Amino acid sequence: MIMPSSGTAQASADFRARLPQDEVIYFLLPDRFENGDRSNDTGGIAGGKLQHGFDPTDEGFYHGGDLAGLTARLDYIQGLGATAVWLAPVFRNKPVQGEPGREFSGAHGYWITDFTTVDPHFGTDAEFKAFVDAAHARGMKVYMDIIANHTADVIRYRECPANDCAYRSRADYPYSRQGGIEGAAINAGFDGTNFERLTRPDYAYTPYVPEAEATVKVPAWLNDPIYYHNRGDTTFKGESSLDGDFAGLDDLYTENPRVVQGMIEIYGDWIDRYGIDGFRIDTARHVNSEFWQAFVPAMLERARAKGIPNFHIFGEVYDHDPGILARFTQVDRYPAVLDFAFQTTATDVANGVKGTDALARLYMADALYAGGEAGAMQLPTFLGNHDMGRIGGFIAKAHPDASADELLARTTLAHALMMFGRGVPTIYYGDEQGFAGIGGYGAARADMFPSQVADYATHPRIGGAGQPFATSAPMYRRLAEMARIRAASPALRRGRQIVRATSETPGLFAVSRVIDGEPGETLIIYNSATTPITVNIEVATASQDWSSLRGSCPATASAPGSIRVTVPALDYMICVSKDPA
């Protein structure tokens, strides 16, 4: 096990006390991060790529990254300033699925068959424990990526052998009839709540489990089709968004109390066994609210019983409307959701597509979240991910004729908006190396270690390409600087945010971060324009004397309540008032 490096003893002693908003999260896919043990590349499965899923030349298959490699690279992650590591799912997956000619592997981790153990492609349960222990020894938290919406695609429907079943609605195919409203009566008296009366799953399709996979799911109750909706593929609209199979993945009947209790047992056990620090929950919007209303409090209580008072739970609600995002904190009772609205807005501002007033409108919606503005402090903010693509790619695509310096400046600006604004900044692995990955999905999942995927070598790098895991990479150095500034300033982590100035066009954006009851304010000023700006900014009247955290801040205010600054093009500065508020 890697021991904590010098200077981390105090951090490791009190890391449990940190609030969620104190963290800088580093999100990674274990398969694409570092290969520390080549003996597990095929997961111990015989045969070829369509059996074990390993092909390091194909972006859709396993490439060999594992927990041993991740543990060995904790110095690199901590050196960046990250304090929490969020891993894509590490549970045992179906190695390969898909119809002939459309096969892909479960390298991403979202096709779970066994919810109780680590996928052998990534290592062993003991290696997962070693990783968590090594992170904790450094004062770093570990967030697991979990799924309750679906399992791997195992259940088949006799009516569609090509596995291309269209969604069948509850109105046209009610639970009370076999195969449609004209079918034979089944499930007598089932009203959607008395699940002891739901005894047959063939109301829409005739589901079955292939003999070879009859016991592949763990725990064993997951092998029974009665615990799934069995209505065919979702269209992502209406009721199908909740009850449909996600691209064929078996959609759990999360209204069923047995499923609710089963998922609580599964994930509570991971807390008990490993003392992890939080969950990112996949496909949160595709599960009924009542499930989350039971599951989330149960997980928080399980964590408290384990001595983890600040267990962070945040859901993936893939929507850019803050009103929709906030609903999941108000109704579903999520403590936080991934801030997709920030991702869109910050990208547009950094690209010069929108004026900075778009950020002000975004932050006005913070009042909608449970707990209001204080609740919004827990939202993980991010700029790209494994599904949509990378911030470097968004910027390179929007500015095809831009110089390398401009691309680096815009990417830096986007990260500064994330690192110093309210919320929990979340760095997507590889962004610190300048990965751009033009295009989404596979293109956004490049290997950190030397890759054999030919297409990855053609991807541009923001700041230029260097050696793998280079701590000298321009974005690595810049992000590490931001993280150091943020870690040293409680106001930048926990301070209430006050928007001070905006522009209807690319240009000025300024916010103050203040801790109520404490003196002073921390002022962050951004310039999204391609020319420098000199401007007066309103501040607290008591903020007379100033110092610089970054950039050239004036020593004194221009007048009570006003400070005059000059911000270079596509840059930012941070000024600190030393006066009592």
Active site residues: 282, 316
Backbone angles phi, psi at 549, to 5 degrees: -95, -35
| Token output for 183 | 């079918």
Backbone angles phi, psi at 170, to 5 degrees: -70, -30
Using CA of residue 13, residue 17, residue 21, residue 26, what is the dihedral sign? positive
CB 144 within 8 A of CB 279: yes
CB 497 within 8 A of CB 513: yes
Backbone angles phi, psi at 508, to 5 degrees: -75, 135
**Rounded to an integer, what distance in angstroms lies between the CA atom of residue 576 and that of residue 567?**
15
**Rounded to an integer, what distance in angstroms lies between the CA atom of residue 506 and that of residue 528?**
5
Count of positions (residues) in the chain:
581
**Rounded to an integer, what distance in angstroms lies between the CA atom of residue 132 and that of residue 153?**
30
CA 227 to chain centre: 27
**Rounded to an integer, what distance in angstroms lies between the CA atom of residue 4 and that of residue 78?**
10
47 burial (CB, 10 Å; 0-12 / 13-18 / 19+) is: exposed
Report which of 128, 494, 426, 152 is spatially closest to residue 280, judged by C-alpha positions: 426
- Neighbouring C-alpha atoms within 13 Å toward the C-beta of 424: 30
State yes or no: cis peptide before 532, omega within 30 of 0.
no
Report which of 480, 442, 441, 434 is spatially closest to residue 460, judged by C-alpha positions: 434
| Token output for 512 | 């103050």
366 burial (CB, 10 Å; 0-12 / 13-18 / 19+) is: buried
CA angle 481, 484, 489 (to 5 degrees): 130
